[in-house]
Amino acid sequence: MQKPLPRWIAHRGGGSLAPENTLAGIRLAAQLGFKAVEFDVMLSGDGTPILIHDETLERTTNGRGPVAETSDNILFSLDAGRGERIPRFAEAAALCRELGLLANVEIKPATGYEKPTAEVVARMTAEFWRGASVQPLLSSFSLEALEIARDLAPEIERGVLFELAPTDWLAEMRRLQAVSLHCDAALLGNDVLAEANARGIPVLCYTVNVPEKAKMLFERGVSALFTDRLDLFSPKQLLTKACI
Ligand code: G3P
Ligand code: MG
């Protein structure tokens, strides 16, 4: 894996300080000193990769219905919070490159769209970051998507993403030629962490918004944390605080 891996990753772009999965969020993360951002990429009804987390529009926009059945002209007219638009993946990639951010691109296929989503996102990721000094990291809960990414864009590093790491997590990592293990901080077992640490595999945990929990996870040997609390864990803030 490329080094150094930042310890803090802004979750869904800008965490809770900005509308999630927006360019404003990514910009804010960079302003606050974050060196890495995570965002979710799904296909629109027209097959365009866009930044959004849910399969439906209601929670994060003023639109309605399934993302995978909504055309681009509707999607891009929606308000994704505080006047922000839903970004195209291409725009987010360009911004991350411009700001020198490490992008953790989470392939987030709507159910049934695993193959087309992975194909488009893997190909575009390789294209968008060709020649960039800071390379992105692809991840997904969909192992099928990671398999496709491995085959179509082997040069882009992959992280396997689980809620709870299954007993065969290491075999899956090897099969997918992944470099990192991503999992829910609340479900990370000591045995999995010890095995990963012994093998030099970075463990990245989501979503950590409480300083005491962050401290404990780093002490246990976790490499990096995804956070919504950009205000608490901004690297600029941490320079002035001895807490973590
Ligand atoms: O990639 C880490 C984290 O984003 C996974 O959970 O649901 O926020 O995409 P979710
Ligand atoms: Mg995500």
For ligand 1, atom 1, the nearest C-alpha belongs to 106
Nearest of 171, 144, 146 to residue 160 by alpha carbon = 146
Give catalytic status of residue 182 as yes or no.
no
Catalytic entry in 16, 45, 53, 116: 53
For ligand 1, atom 10, the nearest C-alpha belongs to 53
User: What angle, 0 to 180 degrees and rounded to 10, lies between the N-to-C axes of helices 23-31 and 89-99?
Assistant: 10
For ligand 1, atom 7, the nearest C-alpha belongs to 53
Q: What angle do CA 220, 221, 224 make, to 5 degrees?
A: 115
Pocket-forming residues, ligand 1, beta carbon under 6 Å: 11, 38, 40, 53, 106, 139, 161, 182, 206, 226
pLDDT at 3 over 80: no
For residue range 18-41, what is the model confidence (pLDDT) as tens digits? 999 999 999 999 999 999 999 999
Q: What is the mean pLDDT of the chain?
A: 96
On the 0-12 / 13-18 / 19+ scale of CB atoms within 10 A, 206 is buried
User: What angle, 0 to 180 degrees and rounded to 10, lies between the N-to-C axes of helices 143-152 and 114-128?
Assistant: 40
Of ligand 1's listed atoms, the one at least distance from the Cα of 139 is 1
> In this predicted structure, what is the pLDDT of residue 244?
56
| CA-to-CA dists, residue 62 to 40, 42, 74, angstroms | 19, 18, 11
Quote the ligand 1 centre to 206 CA distance (angstroms). Answer: 7
Residue 4 CA to residue 133 CA, distance in Å, equals 13
For residue range 36-52, what is the model confidence (pLDDT) as tens digits? 999 999 999 999 999 99
pLDDT at 242 over 90: no
For residue range 83-136, what is the model confidence (pLDDT) as tens digits? 999 999 999 999 999 999 999 999 999 999 999 999 999 999 999 999 999 999
> In this predicted structure, what is the pLDDT of residue 15?
77
> In this predicted structure, what is the pLDDT of residue 12?
97
Quote the ligand 1 centre to 41 CA distance (angstroms). Answer: 11
The answer to whether domain 8-238 has CATH 3.40.50.720 is: no
On the 0-12 / 13-18 / 19+ scale of CB atoms within 10 A, 139 is buried
pLDDT at 68 over 70: yes
Ligand 1 pocket: which of 162, 225, 226, 227 to mutate (most atoms within 8 A of CB)? 226
pLDDT at 192 over 70: yes
> In this predicted structure, what is the pLDDT of residue 238?
76
pLDDT at 193 over 90: yes
What DSSP designation does 101 have?
P
Side-chain half-sphere exposure of 123, counting CA atoms within 13 A: 8
For residue range 122-172, what is the model confidence (pLDDT) as tens digits? 999 999 999 999 999 999 999 999 999 999 999 999 999 999 999 999 999
Under 8 Å CB-to-CB from 73, ≥6 apart: which residues? none
pLDDT at 229 over 60: yes
Contact 165, 188 (CB under 8 A): yes
**Which pTM value belongs to this model?**
0.96
Catalytic entry in 11, 27, 158, 182: 11
For ligand 1, atom 6, the nearest C-alpha belongs to 206
Both structure tokens of 125: 């990721």
